[in-house]
Chains A and B, each alone.
Chain A
Amino acid sequence: MFYDEGEKGYPFIFFQKTPSWLTSFFVGLLIAGGCGIFYVWYSTTSPDPAADSTVGLVYAVLGTILMVLAAIMFSLRRRARRRAVGQLHTALDWHICFGVAALAILFMHSFGNFNPRSGTYALYAMIALVISGVIGKLLDMLLPRMIAAEANKALTAQGEDRLQNITKQLESIVTHNTQPPRGFAFNSSANAAARTQGMPAPKADRPRSLVPLQDSWDLAYISLEETPQEVNLDAHQYRFVPDRKSALTAPGALIPGAKEQLSAMSEVQQALQREQCYRYIIRYWRIFHVALAFLTVALTVWHIEYALELVIPTLFHH
């Protein structure tokens, strides 16, 4: 049967070529590439390529617009009421496209001049933001796969809750091992007497002709007192209780098979904990990404304010 890579298995790293990814990739490439080419041409031909030259400012404005688009479009789309299936995914691809292109263009905007602090910090934040986005995407690919593996461990082959299964097995083991041993009735010596009386019974099976005449084994022919063994019956019980230092005091020591169940249970628990942990990572990374975005915006605003102070006077000069 033809193995369609799409239909089976769940690899850790995979890549899905969707139409929206392709479009957004090429558009991003186009924008950034176009600006890049112009950058190269301009820096070689112009006498003073600077961040606040016209070209630099154009780059700045373009970069900022792209950045704003990246920041807002996806969130708006997410909150939109009318939406087709798959539109949100497309919006995400464009978000990435705009974000990365914005970073490239803002880099070009600097024209190698990293002196102004505000600009540099804004750029750092932007870099961190984009990197966090990339890492986030990677996490979004790896972690769900890892979560699936942990969930897999927590489920039996039929899909039932494994903890529940282990519990049931444990409890059947416990039941089995705590059944009072047959034939032992600790609480009455009458029973003991009956038992001793019962002991000769097997001998009755032997062919009579070979059995010589026997005395009765009934103790009452001798005495009604308890034998020493009977007196110490309860004491025997204490001999079965291990003292504190013995390995037998560990829980489940006298219950064979429980150890395996216990270790299986702790394995499942660890799987559950790891599942939670991964989930938290996904959640908090997203929050982190958004926090970085806010930081970037703040720094960018600061830089824009600084830039305006420089640029507006020159504008008025004209």
Chain B
Amino acid sequence: MPNPVLLHKTGPQVMQELQACIGCNECLLACPALAEPITIDRLNHETLSGPISGPVARFARACYQCGACVPPCPVGLHRDAMMMWLKVRLLRSGGE
């Protein structure tokens, strides 16, 4: 199984992946960094655009890109890339 070394995807790619997400929660179940319950729809929604709420922001910081969320995805999406996108947005928001 390829373990990609580049961790990010571009905005449009992330958007495409978010739209293909079927909300099965497998990625969240596999995550060792997630400490408080977050629903997948909220995560998807906030990853794409708009303000980032507290729990999601904390989750984004806690995520250490271990990649455990990728193999369980039935659709073959990359939650790690989506999280990286979320982090970049979080980073950019901090500069404001």
Contacts and interface: CB of A to CB of B under 8 A. Distances in A.
Indicate yes or no for A touching B, C-beta below 8 A. yes
Interface of A: 4, 6-11, 14, 16, 18-21, 78, 83-86, 88-92, 140-141, 143-145, 147-149, 151-152, 154-155, 158-161, 164, 272, 275-276, 279-280, 282-283, 286
Find the residue from A88, A151, A279 having the highest chain B CB count within 10 A: A151
A78 B32 contact: yes
A160 B11 contact: yes
B38 to A, nearest CB: 7
B88 A152 contact: yes
Interface of B: 3, 5-8, 10-12, 14, 25, 28-38, 51-54, 57-58, 60-66, 68, 84-85, 87-88, 90-96
Contacts of B38: 85
A19 B84 CA distance: 25
A9 B94 contact: yes
B52 A151 contact: no
A159 to B, nearest CB: 2
B14 to A, nearest CB: 7
A79 B14 CA distance: 28
B7 A9 contact: no
Contacts of A158: 11
Contacts of B61: 10, 14, 16, 145
B36 A8 contact: no
Report the 3 A-B pairs with minimum CB-CB distance, sorted nearest first. A159-B11, A9-B94, A140-B64
Given A90-B35, A144-B65, 10 more contacts: A7-B52, A7-B54, A9-B90, A18-B36, A21-B35, A89-B32, A147-B65, A148-B84, A159-B11, A276-B5
A9 B89 CA distance: 9
A10 B58 contact: no
Contacts of B65: 143-144, 147, 279, 282
Contact of A159 (B14, B37, B60, B62): B14
Contacts of B30: 88
B36 A148 contact: no
B37 A8 contact: no
Contact of A143 (B6, B12, B64, B88): B64
Nearest to A280: B5
The residue among A6, A11, A83, A141 with the most chain B CB atoms within 10 A of its own CB is A6
Contacts of B35: 16, 18-21, 86, 89-90
